[in-house]
């Protein structure tokens, strides 16, 4: 196991953990409960840490570096979009219409499972995790 990230801010740990999970990288948090200790001695590093398997270290560190630089946001979804079903204008960060729950049409339809419609983006295997169909 290799440490890839540490922060005194629990929300930052959660965000990075989610980013790793989305890319298929499992992580675990160490020192999780130490974040609530008020007077941590200076010689004791008690901040929560994210650790990953040795084989995932380089990919995980690249994602952490991208997160820390502010580039982790998906710029493709920055602009507002118009719902094809009801015509409502939706802010770019949302992936479905608030009015009628239609999915964002900007997602490439070719990247969806032909059987169940699951979004097949950046998966570790060429098999839909939802229904098991190969692609």
Q: What is the pLDDT of residue 123?
A: 73
Strands 49-52 and 2-6, by their bridges, are: antiparallel
**For range 4-14, the mean pLDDT:** 89
Q: Please give the Cα distance from 129 to 99 (Å, whole number).
A: 28
Residue 107 located in a structural domain = no
23-32, 37-46, 92-101: range with lowest mean pLDDT: 37-46
Domain hosting 51: range is 2-69
Residue 29 located in a structural domain = yes
CA atoms within 13 A on the CB side of 24: 10
Instruction: Say which CATH number the domain at 62 has.
Output: 3.30.70
Q: Please give the Cα distance from 133 to 129 (Å, whole number).
A: 8
Tell me the per-residue pLDDT of 80-119, one tens digit each, with 9 for 90 and over. Answer: 888 888 999 998 888 788 999 888 877 655 577 788 777 7
Domain count, the chain: 1
Residue 62 located in a structural domain = yes
Q: Please give the Cα distance from 81 to 114 (Å, whole number).
A: 24
Residue 113 located in a structural domain = no
Mean confidence (pLDDT) of the chain: 80
pTM above 0.85, yes or no: no
């Amino acid at each position: 196991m290799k440490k890839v990230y540490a922060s005194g801010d629990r929300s930052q740990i959660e965000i990075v953990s989610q980013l790793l999970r989305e890319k298929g990288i499992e992580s675990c948090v160490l020192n999780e409960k130490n974040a609530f200790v008020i007077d941590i001695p200076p010689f004791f590093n008690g901040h929560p840490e994210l650790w990953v398997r040795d084989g995932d270290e380089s990919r995980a560190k690249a994602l952490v570096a991208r997160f820390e630089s502010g580039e982790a946001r998906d710029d493709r979804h920055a602009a507002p979009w118009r719902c094809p079903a009801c015509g409502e204008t939706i802010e770019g960060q949302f992936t479905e219409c608030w009015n009628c729950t239609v999915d964002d049409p900007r997602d490439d339809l070719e990247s969806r499972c032909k059987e169940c419609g699951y979004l097949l983006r950046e998966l570790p295997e060429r098999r839909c995790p939802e229904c098991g169909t190969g692609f």
